[in-house]
C-alpha cells in the first residue's frame, strides 16, 4: 500500500479530491477554503485588539488553524514516509538551462542553491525568499485571498473577482517565470 501511495497521483484523481474539498467545507460547516487568511487570524489572536484590521472574532475561524496544522502534519508525514527515494527526474533541456544559472543539485524537489539557509544570505536568495515571500503575502492580502482561495473556492462559487484574481495570478506567474526569474538567477 505504501508503494502505491509513493507514486504520483494522476491529475484527475488529485484534482477531484481537491475539488471535493469545496462542497465538503460548505456542506459541513459553511466554511470557505483558503490558506492566507490564517496569518490575519494569527495576528488577531496575538496582537492587541485596538488595530482595526484585526478587530473581529477570530475564534470563529479557529477551525482554519486546525486545517493549516493538518497541512503541516500531512506534509511532514508525506516527506518522512511517502516520499519517493529516487532522485527527481528533470528534463535534459531544463538541466542544461539550470546549470547555466549555477543550479546543479537536483537530488531533491527544491535545489539547495536556491532554498537553504546559506542561500538566504546571498543577493539571489534574499530576493527570491524574502522579497518574493513579501510580495506573495502582500499580493494575497491585496487580492483578498490566495491562489487556493480564489482559484478553487472563488471560481467554484462563480465569483467574478476570483476569476480576475486568478487570471492575474497566472499572468504574473508567466511574467515572473519567463522574464524576471532568469535575471534573478543570473545574480
Q: Which three cell numbers stand for residue 33?
A: 477554503
The pLDDT value recorded for residue 1 is: 63
Residues sharing a CB contact under 8 Å with residue 10, sequence separation 6 or more, in sequence order: none
Whether pTM > 0.75 for this model: the answer is no
**CB neighbours (10 Å) of residue 34?**
21
Residues sharing a CB contact under 8 Å with residue 65, sequence separation 6 or more, in sequence order: 38, 41, 42
Where do the structural domains in the chain lie, given as residue ranges? Answer: 1-83, 114-187
What is the maximum span of the chain, computed from C-alpha positions, in angstroms? 56
List, for residues 40-81, the tens digit of each pLDDT value: 888 888 887 778 888 888 888 888 888 889 989 988 988 888
List, for residues 4-47, the tens digit of each pLDDT value: 777 777 889 888 988 888 888 888 888 887 788 888 888 888 88
Q: Which three cell numbers stand for residue 29?
A: 460547516
Amino acid at each position: 500500500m505504501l508503494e502505491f501511495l509513493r507514486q504520483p497521483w494522476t491529475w484527475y484523481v488529485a484534482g477531484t479530491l481537491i475539488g471535493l474539498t469545496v462542497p465538503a467545507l460548505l456542506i459541513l460547516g459553511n466554511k470557505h477554503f483558503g490558506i492566507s487568511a490564517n496569518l490575519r487570524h494569527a495576528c488577531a489572536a496575538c496582537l492587541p485588539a485596538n488595530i482595526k484590521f484585526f478587530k473581529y472574532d477570530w475564534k470563529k475561524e479557529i477551525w482554519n488553524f486546525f486545517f493549516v496544522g493538518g497541512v503541516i502534519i500531512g506534509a511532514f508525514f508525506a516527506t518522512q514516509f511517502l516520499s519517493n527515494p529516487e532522485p527527481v527526474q528533470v528534463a535534459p533541456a531544463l538541466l542544461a538551462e539550470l546549470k547555466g544559472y549555477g543550479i546543479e543539485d537536483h537530488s531533491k524537489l527544491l535545489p539547495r542553491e536556491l532554498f537553504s539557509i546559506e542561500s538566504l544570505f546571498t543577493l539571489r536568495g534574499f530576493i527570491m525568499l524574502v522579497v518574493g515571500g513579501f510580495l506573495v503575502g502582500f499580493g494575497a492580502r491585496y487580492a483578498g485571498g490566495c491562489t487556493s482561495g480564489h482559484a478553487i473556492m472563488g471560481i467554484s462559487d462563480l465569483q467574478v473577482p476570483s476569476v480576475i484574481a486568478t487570471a492575474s495570478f497566472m499572468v504574473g506567474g508567466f511574467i515572473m517565470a519567463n522574464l524576471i526569474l532568469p535575471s534573478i538567477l543570473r545574480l
